[in-house]
Amino acid sequence: MAYWMPVCAGMTTGKFRQVKPLRILITGFGSFPGAPYNPTPELVERLTHLRRPALADVARIGHVFPVTYQAVDHALPDLLRRHRPDALLMFGLAARTPCVRIETRARNAVTMLWPDANGGTRGGRTIASGADDMHFGPHTLRLLRAARATRIDARLSHDAGRYLCNYLCWRALEAARDGRAPRLAAFVHVPLVARAPAMQRRGASRRAALVHLMAAGEAMLLQITALARKN
């Protein structure tokens, strides 16, 4: 599933002028074994269609990956090739952690214990030959500060796990290293929040959790957009 928020061309001296907009690719994941509900598709849709003055000239492309290795391997290169984004903002679910986690690295490791949503595994303990890990860069600290400014509990993380989130981190950083993706990329793990009916049953505190998550996502999108303008 993908979304695209177009940006209109400007007008100069009565004629339309084609303007190349800044492009931000925003991704999430669908449901997977053990997590029948994943809030990241809602977050992707919200950020893709968010209206803010700072985003008026920004083309935002949203994509939700099925939780399979094959989907990442097929869709990520295609998205990068077609849209050539200036920045990549990725979200995934960490259901067992109560805070927002901004990942600082991807590990060259993959689990053989938990199959993906199609029942598949990678068939090995590493993703690729070579380095043990790859790092996102110092801009993760800027994203952390932006998220914390919304008063959400946000922390830097040095362990993205060994499942699809870490796999996507690795493939994105691998593409950035090879020049196929922007070097300005980030992966954010979000905690589990309830769907709307459950929020109503559980009260205002659960409703606030989703609101706070959306606010933090917006702050990080604005921050990575500002950083992309400077690159």
Given this model, what pLDDT does residue 130 score? 85
pLDDT 10s digits, 46-102: 999 999 999 999 999 999 999 999 999 999 999 999 999 999 999 999 988 999 999
- Print the SS3 string covering 72-140: HHHHHHHHHHHHCCCEEEEEEECCCCCCEEEECEEECCCCCCCCCCCCCCCCCCCCCCCCCEEECCCHH
**Mean local confidence (pLDDT), 151-165:** 96
Given this model, what pLDDT does residue 53 score? 96
Given this model, what pLDDT does residue 19 score? 63
**pLDDT(176) > 90:** yes
pLDDT 10s digits, 99-129: 999 999 999 999 988 899 999 888 788 999 9
Pairwise CA distance, residues 16 & 114, whole Å: 53
Mean pLDDT across the chain: 88
Residue predicted with more confidence, 2 or 58: 58
Confidence of residue 148 (pLDDT cuts 50, 70, 90): very high
Instruction: Assign 30 to helix, strand or coil.
Output: coil
Report the amino acid identity of residue 96.
Answer: R
Task: Give the CATH number for residue 155.
Answer: 3.40.630.20
**pLDDT(208) > 60:** no
> pTM above 0.85?
yes
Other Cβ atoms within 10 Å of 124 Cβ, number: 10
Given this model, what pLDDT does residue 209 score? 81
**pLDDT(195) > 70:** no
Given this model, what pLDDT does residue 22 score? 96
- Percent of the chain with pLDDT strictly greater than 90: 70
Taken as a whole, the chain contains a residue count of: 231
In the chain, how many domains are there? 1
Tell me which residue range forms the domain holding 108.
2-230
Instruction: Choose the weakest-confidence range: 47-56, 64-73, 141-150, 188-197.
Output: 188-197
